[in-house]
Structure 1
Amino acid sequence: MNVSRPPPAQPHFSSPAPSSQLSLPPSSTSSPSPPSSSSPAAPALPPPPSPVKISMQEHFAINVCPGPILPIPQISDFFPRFHDFPIAPPPPREKQVLRDKDKNGDQNGEKDREREQEKEENGGDRQELMDSDDDDTYLGTLEFSLLFDQENNCLHCTINKAKGLKAMDSNGLADPYVKLHLLPGASKANKLRTKTLKNTLNPIWNETLVYHGITAADMTTKTLRLCVCDMDRLGRNEFIGEVRVALKKLREGESKRYNMGLERIAQVCVSRGRILVSLCYLAEKKGLCVGIIRCAHLAAMDSNGYSDPFVKIVLQPDMGKKSKYKTSVKKKTLNPEFNEEFFYEVPHDQLAKKTLEISVWDYDLGMSNDFIGGVELGINAKGEKLRHWFECLKYMGKKVEYWHTLTQQGAPSSD
């Protein structure tokens, strides 16, 4: 008599076959297999849920694009003052979402955007200042008054206050002060300044500065320049804006009040004089001979209407003490004659890579010397300065003389 054996028990999980699909446990509707006779009785566990079958590609594609991709804010977006040119701040993230909704056909996007614009318009002075700042069209206003006292030959300049100045620091504020200049002229006696007020865009000075020795003839030819600047202890002070007033419009004994908008008229060329320089490369000595011949129409830096000028010359890149020379000092003159020559021992092939810096200074006994003007000759120069340098390199042994106009090049960084 043949006895049939029962079929072997099937395990819950079978080894998966190699395929691109995920293996899934059996359906909950299938009946559980009977427990083995050798194992002790155990409570029956509920079968695991059976997920829907998905491909491997679909598995990795889940949650990849949860929503619209927004730009990542950069650190420079929060500190636009660190740029050399004005940069508009990034748009708010809410606006970006609204634009995305409009692209997807949201009919209410236009109304929402108009509502956001109304909020911005009513956002207060800070938002208006930010907008004007980014456009670089509004620099602020300056309130001041002028009084000419002809009997005492004095000009009284009262600096009252400024409003809505352009923010110059990373904290959105500035450390403003006002500088006064009488033009034409670059004398120290013509320069006055107020105190510095910290962390404000609406400074109130109420400070009176007086020019002494101003005659009626000066009032017909002079112009008062008022510059608002930002004090920076870690670097060079920054220019915010300026205004100019022709003094011939001011009547004697009349105090006239002004409220003027600041303008960006920085780096206006003021006549500082000219200098005659000769260059000659001597092939037999393998060096450059620099001649400082004379200066003409220099700016007056002393209160007596004259200067005590001397000239410094430096061949860059710096070669130590051998690259720095200076002429003698000429007392009380605006048209000094030096007729002094200086020699630099430098190979001809290396001279093309160097720059000759020439600066004119006013000597002050016991005080720091005043910068009058300077000029740079070299391969990176332009116009007459480049032509002068090129002819010196081309015609060895020939002395080449050129007149050059003095500019702010070489000016010290301190204000």
Structure 2
Amino acid sequence: MSIGSRYVIDITRAVDGTNGPKTSRQNAAMINITSTASTPLTSVTQNSSNSTAAPGFIDQILHDLPFPLWVLYAILAAGGLVILVVICLCICCYCKRKKSRKKKKQHQLELKGLEAASGAALVGSGSDDNRYGSNQKKRGKLLYSLDYQATKTELTVGIKQAAELMAMDLGGSSDPYVKVYISPSRTKTYETKVHRNTLKPLFNEHFTFQVTRSVLAASVVVMQVFDFDRFSKHDIIGELRVDLSSVDWNHVIEEWQDLSDPLKCEPEDLGEICISLRYVPAGGRLTVVVLEARNLKSMDLGGSSDPYVKVQLALDKKKWKKKKTSIKKKTLNPYFNESFSFDVPFDHIQRVHLVVSVWDHDAVSRNDTMGKIFLGSDASGNQLMHWADMLANPRRPVGQWHTLLTAEQVNSTLVLKKKLALPKMISRQR
């Protein structure tokens, strides 16, 4: 009999009580056997429970889903498809970018090859091309007309249209207008209307100058094309200068000409001024805010000036009311930000002209004018557009920069009469 069977018999007898009372040695043997036998069973149970825990957990989750398993499979398939599409798009974008970089690199190489080539080979045999060179910028062309009436001593300059203008804005377009004057007298300067977002504007505007035959022979008509910008300096696109001494006045001149670079020896720049206009029709109130000026002409020996601004209203070209700002000492870029209000009934607004002039203050001698502009229904160019924008946007301030003109230019265009007193219309400063 083996030892294991003997232990079983002894335990059975002890439980049944067939051999009488148990001895202490038998009790100890029974405890040892029980503990020894129970240990491997427990470990086996734990191992079996660990091996089946994970599959049971996953099965439980799948069993608790609120929808059939095929829906889950469809969602997983759709997700995989979306990921695949995104990966394909990323690959396509990368290839496209790589291709564009390659084209750009090839274009740069071509440009280098062109620069290395000889000028004669690039521009060909045309005399005009050889004159301007291979690096000449194309500024566009202008169609104009000239007509002189000797009996009336009137020269009429027609600005017909422009084409192929140089783009000056970031969007690849421009806001062109044309400035016309006669040099060297430059007694009058006219401006066409501004045409928005175009490189081929159609103007069809005519301007008349009083010029005698003797002055005509020593004059040059200047037509400058500008790109309009409300809050910064207007950039010049190009210009035409026609020597009037060589023109045959027996017939009307009408022709296209290419715009050229502006001359660097242009008449002196008088600077610019920024003003804001606001009109309230219901209350009949016109508000003029003089904001600032820049690049003014130096009037003092020290290379500076003491500028102030005079704001004047004229009704039916008769002097009416005026106000002036404070004086800014020793500066060519004064900042004012001063507001003036005038009572102007709605039925008078089309008969009113606003004259804004910049003066240099002198405590000893007479104050000198530094520049001038006027706005109203009889104005032209940027001044007329600013006035029209104010009327088109009632109760809203409209600000804009303006290039200062000489007092002679403004006075020859807007001839003001003596002061007219109107007690019902009161001007006040705020």
- Identify the TM-score tier after normalising by the shorter chain: 0.3 to 0.5
When normalised by structure 1's length, the TM-score is 0.40
TM-score, normalised to structure 2, is 0.39
